[in-house]
Every structure is written in C-alpha cells, then in structure tokens.
Structure 1
Amino acid sequence: MNDTEINSENAPENTGAESKVYIPKTREYYAKLSDYEGPLDILLHFVQEDELNIYDIPIHKITSDFLGYIDYMQSLDIELAGEFLLMASELMKIKARMLLPRKIDEDTNEIEEDPRMVLVRKLLEYKRFKDASEKIDHMVHEAAKQFARGYNKQDPREFSDGEEIDYSLKNLTILNLIKAYKSVLLGIRPKTVHPIEPLDFTPETQRDILLDIVHREGRIEFKKLMKMFETKLEIICSFLAMLQLALEGFLELVVEPKDLSEFYVQTKDNQLITGQEL
C-alpha cells in the first residue's frame, strides 16, 4: 500500500470492496491544505514534499494525492472552487493518456509529446511566479526593519524632560495651546540650508580688469595687485586669470633679483596691452 493510500473514516461511504480513498496522513496536514491558493499550489506542494522530479512526475501518485485531498475537503462539507475539479479531470485525462501508446507523426516521424508536459509547464510557470512573490515579500519585510535618514522616533509633542501634554479638548485653554505649540517647535530639528548664490567673479571677468590695472601701473608688485581685490573668490579668480594671461603671452611675471621672494606683473616686453586687443 502507498504511504498516502489509507482508508478514511471521514470520507464518503463507498460500496466497492477495493475502493480506497487517497488522503493526507495527519490532521495537522489537513489544516494546512485549506490555506493553499489553488490546485497548482497543492500539486507543487506534493511534488516538493515527496522530492519528486518535476520533469518526470509519477502521474498515478500525484493524481491519487490530489483526489485524496478533494475527497477529504468534500467530507468536511468544504465547498471547492471549480478550478479544483477541473484540475482533477485534467489529471485523470493525463493518467488515461499515459496508459495508451504515444502516436508517431507520419510527416515528421516524431513521437507525440509526453501528456504530462502540459502540467509540467504549468507547474514551472506557477513556481516561478510563486518564488518571485516570496522574494518580494521578503524584501518588503526587510525594508520594514529599516528607517530612512532623518527618522525621529521621539514624538515631537513631548517636552525635553519627557512630560507629555494633554491634548484633549475638554481641558483646552489658550495657555495649553501655546504650551503645545512651543513643545512642537522644540521637537522639530532645524534643517541646515546652504544657499547657492550666483558667482559675481570668474577668471573670464577678471581678465580685462587685470589688463587694465597693469596697463595703468605699467609694472606692479604681485602682492599689491592682489590686495586690490576684496573677497577670496575675487582673489582666486584674479590669480587664475593672471596665470592664463601669462600662459597666453599677454602678461609677464618678473622676479626681483634682489629679493627672490617678490615678483612683479607687467605687460609683455613692458608694452601696454588692453583687453580689446585679446
């Protein structure tokens, strides 16, 4: 006798002497079966529970298990959806076709497809979607354990000393309202805002200014030149513009022989060059 082939005391009476009802083994198992989502879910469970090869399903065994499930559920007066009965008929049809020799196509000389392959494809597709669903559920469960940056577990309506305000309307006064408003403000963490202002100076805007200064001075000490600018940004942009002008040959940087730590800025060959000549 197959492990799942046992007589059921709860199954409907059957007068056939050899008739047996195929049902699951334990009552704990019965309770779980009622939670399955459909016939494919049950069949997939049978395959995985008995570690069957899904590509070579023993159709006799899995049909017996499935019919046993239906018999048991009907014995409990549990109404089954039509899809369960449809699957039962499909299994019986496949079981019957397995008893017949498979036909050979005269044109291609190929043997008729295994009758079980239709069921195999359905089970594989169902398993793929079920695995994906379980993976998504797991991801949602893991995401619920995480908190986004800036999450504040403490209720901002509480005072810093832990005292909580009574917000019920029955004792509401203007003082309580002000007190509540103040506590909310204290619980809000200020956000640091970094304003982005447009740049007033760029190396390009400082080119003409530098050339104009050197044009007037003829020759000017570097430190004196930089002191003409007020902000750090203005000094940085002017310094970059000076280097670019020197690289292009419009300005020269001359070191003082007596003091190598000092250098001067002048027009090339000490000629007067304006921005209009660039």
Structure 2
Amino acid sequence: MDYKVQFDVFEGPMDLLLYLVRKQEVDIYQVNLTQLATEFIQYVEFMRELDLDVAGEFVVMAATLMYIKSKELLPKDKQVLLEDDDEGQDPRWELIRQLVEYKKFKDAAAQLKEKEIEQESIFVRQAPKPNFKLMETREAPRPDVSVFDLVKAVGTILQRIEDKEGQTREIQADTWSVSQKIEMFRKRAQTQKRFKFSELFEDDRTRQEVVVTFLALLEMIRMKQLQAVQPSPFEEIEIQPAQASDEQASNPEDAAHEEEASGQAQNPSS
C-alpha cells in the first residue's frame, strides 16, 4: 500500500492560482494566462509525482486552463471564430472574475484573523506576569511558507539529483520509509532548534529518497510538529519545531493517525 499524504494547506485550485498570480507580480487583470496555465499544470503533475492526494477539482481547473492556453495560441481570426462558436462566452474573463472574488474573500479572512488576534491580546483574563528576559531574546515572527513554496523548493533538489544521475540510472532498493524519516526528524528537532530546508536532503542520493524525505516533512507539518518559515522572500526556507497547543498535543485523533501512518508507511514508487 502506497503512503499518501493528505495535506490540509491545499485549499483548492483557486488558492494555487492566486499563489501563481502573485508570483508574476502583476495585477490580476494583466496576468499572463498562458504562463499561468503552464505553471499550474506543472505543479499538479509534480504533486502527483510526489504521490500527494490531488483532488479532482485541480484536474478540472487544469483542463480549463489547457483550453484557455490553446485558444491563446491560435491566430486572432481563429480566436474570434471560436468565441462565436462558444456563444460569446470567454472562459478567460470568467476565470479572472473568479480569481478577483476569491482574492476578496481571502483578504477578508486574513483581516478577520488579524482582528481576532488583536481582540485576544486586549481581552485577557488573569494575564501572567511578563517575562522580560524572554521578550528581549524573542525573535521577530517569521511568515509561514506555503505548501506550494515547499513543492517548488524540493523540485529544485530533485532536478539537481537528476542532473547528477544523467541518462543512466542504477536501480537501487529503497532503504527508507516515511515513518523512519519522521522518527529521524523528531530526534533532530530535539537537539537542533532550526535547520535549512536543503539540509534535510544532504544524505539523500536518489529521487526516491528525496520524495520519501519530503513526504515525511509534509506529514510532520500537517501534524503540527514542524513548521516551515522563511526569514525574507529571497532567503532559504527553514524548518523548526512548531509551537503546538496543549489541545493539539493531546488530541487522540492525531495520535491515532500518527500510529497508523507509522504502521502503514511504505516507500512511494518513482
């Protein structure tokens, strides 16, 4: 039985689209839909290669983008004829409209979250005495890294290994399982406060090992045992122990899932 990771950060295809639009650093109405379609499909294919559980709505969106991309590549006169056949419906503008609406809700949700945090800091009952020593040494908060950033980072590592392997590949037996890598990460987190994303893959020699390591990392992030952060947009992603609440730590469902994962985990096929 293959080990599949169902990662809660995948909020749907619109979330991935908005992420890719922001990467282009342009207004939504000026986004390059051909480039957007290419990058979206690359991400979906790469998630499948990593054996991540890709929902059907991602596949539907990929098909829609492929249709839009094919229309963009046609000569202008053929585009007009095709639009006439489609009764004037332009999927490009419909997609942009959905993106704009999704961004509004996403931004509104972020503002509500900020308000919630602000209210929690104002209405406090029996607040403990401040630990000034801790406040002096506490570092500034670092933004969480999205799963799409992690997929892009591990893609670079996989490409590097593929370049080293060249055209000839020696078939090797898998020596690590996801559950074994998870146990390694737990031991490392006990002795090392923070480490670079690339350091996790230093001992990996094959694509299979990289995939197993990455799946183990995703599972520990999903279980809120590790956290991926990035000091600034151009710095390397770092991994550190997550600050899980007592409620999360004592959640029997998480413990049951963790035990099941350890018992059923096997190496994903390349």
TM-score normalised by length of structure 2: 0.39
TM-score normalised by length of structure 1: 0.38
Which structure features the higher share of helix residues? 2
